[in-house]
Structure 1
């Protein structure tokens, strides 16, 4: 591969991975999401997820409705930008969910059979690196970059302006503020060479959830929920990679008018495959499912995701012009 083409591929790979997609169904953060790239890179994702289970997939608290059955199709789009802050790598993103859900759920002794569609609550995300290599501001920085052990500080905030109908329990908007604080960790194993990269990635986080004062005429409260995401990722070729994914959820006990539900204590597992179609486009397939979900009060959900991400950077566009001149 020519040096210019190799440089373009590396830039685009890290750009796309650093802005792949938002927290999503099962709140499972995709692998390589917090990889670092050059400052002033941009990306626009389109992610489509099909899911089913006993919880509203647009509800980050994963409030379980025992015996319920919910099916949904979620599409997400948005914009992400990387930059340098205090000489550390940082990223800001905004994500807009949309789609449809339908199902049968029981709330306060009443069973609802319904369907709805529209827009969910937009989410803002900010991430900054605390420990690890400093921000990549130019080509020499990028060529020298290896993550080694990298630790970030992450904050998300959802704005409750999505579509909401207080007469039904399944909604795309949640009628309450919520967000999370986490610390993404990347541990590089072996050489940092395209086609040979291996990482172990962890994300411990706590979701903080506000109160919904009009949940089908009831008051819905949720305790904080702890979540741990883990990934083992590996390059198969310079363009093709895969990951084994796992997640753990704890806490998040919901109460409706003071009647408490079950505390989450669930595990999830999945697999992700990614392929770089060209210097700007990345295609990803993923499947995730809860695994200890036999009891009626256990969280039960599975999802299949397809994502297409378009990323760009002025260095990448410049390398194309150089290639044309050659």
Structure 2
């Protein structure tokens, strides 16, 4: 499961940025930058095999390391140039499957910790900074509506796998990550965020899998934004498509593409001109090294980025699985 492979690319500013007197153009541009740093976490997560069937009573513990490097694109009128970021991310997660309303249901929680370095030029002045700390945790509940009944391990092994699956999910981003309203860019967002979506998949000859997702992020208002201001972001909409091939149980590969758009920003109830319109692709390889142990390698990059982060990202994921006692 790639639910936990979120690229936490949010960084902070140098004290120089705090001390500068921002004119309206600078404030709008930097406000946009602050919000865009949250977008990779919320909207560009490519997640192949989201609808994988597992028995009820399954527990999954995950530890992953991610490295991201790239630039951040803003409007040409912004006073910030040559924005770049280098990020090392540790992500820890836990998931559990169970039966709810006679449907296979999963609950997962994700806790990120980021080490980030940010460099750029503000009004032709070079500046750089680092930020280490916890980001906002994420909680999710998902349900497969059709195509995978809730079965215990003994019955799951005997069950003939169905070709078509349809599922829904709700994810919540809890605003308890590192946040300081005196700083322009933080690891935490200081706002609630809710992701709703649905996914469908079709399997051919138990080997080839086609999967599609539709989702939307909804946000609450941040009333304690930088320097006593407020910020609000309109919904971000996303779609992603995956093609996977299963070599044998526990060994598979998948290619992914994703598109996000929308998400216009309001600063003090004034709508800004730039919104999100980005496309990404990814490749995932999973290999079960032992009965309960799996390793995954992930690479993602951008097709096109109009505004926001344009990163190359590598991920190494370790996954341990166990079942509830009978």
Q: Secondary structure at the match of 1:213?
A: coil
Per-residue CA deviation, residues 252-287 of structure 1 (Å, 9 max, x unaligned), is 122334251412222111111111110111100111
Shift of 1:101: 1.7
Report the equivalent of 2:17. none
Report the equivalent of 2:94. 79
> What is the RMSD computed on CA atoms of the aligned residues?
2.7
Per-residue CA deviation, residues 57-110 of structure 1 (Å, 9 max, x unaligned), is xxxxxxxx8752222111111211000112110001111111222214689999
Report the equivalent of 1:202. 212
Of 275, 294, 316, the residue aligned with 1:263 is: 275
Range 44-53 or range 132-141, more displaced: 132-141
Unaligned runs of 5+ in 2: 8-39, 74-79
Contact residue 198 and residue 235 of structure 1 kept, 8 A: yes
Greater strand share, 1 or 2? 2
Distance 1:97 1:299, change over 3 A: closer
Distance 1:66 1:175, change over 3 A: farther
Q: Secondary structure at the match of 1:211?
A: coil
Q: Distance in 2 between matches of 1:178 and 1:105?
A: 28
Trace 1:122-271 onto structure 2 (pairs within 5 A): 122-190=137-205, 192=206, 197-217=207-227, 218-257=229-268, 258=270, 260-271=272-283
Distance 1:143 1:108, change over 3 A: farther
Unaligned runs of 5+ in 1: 1-16, 57-64, 319-326
Contact residue 176 and residue 190 of structure 2 kept, 8 A: yes
Per-residue CA deviation, residues 295-326 of structure 1 (Å, 9 max, x unaligned), is 5x3642221111001111258xx9xxxxxxxx
TM-score (norm 2): 0.79
TM-score (norm 1): 0.79
Quick check: 1:290 aligned with 2:272? no
Q: Distance in 2 between matches of 1:148 and 1:21?
A: 22
Aligned residues: 283
Contact residue 59 and residue 324 of structure 2 kept, 8 A: no
Distance 1:150 1:24, change over 3 A: same
Quick check: 1:88 aligned with 2:99? no
Report the equivalent of 1:321. none
Range 97-106 or range 78-87, more displaced: 97-106
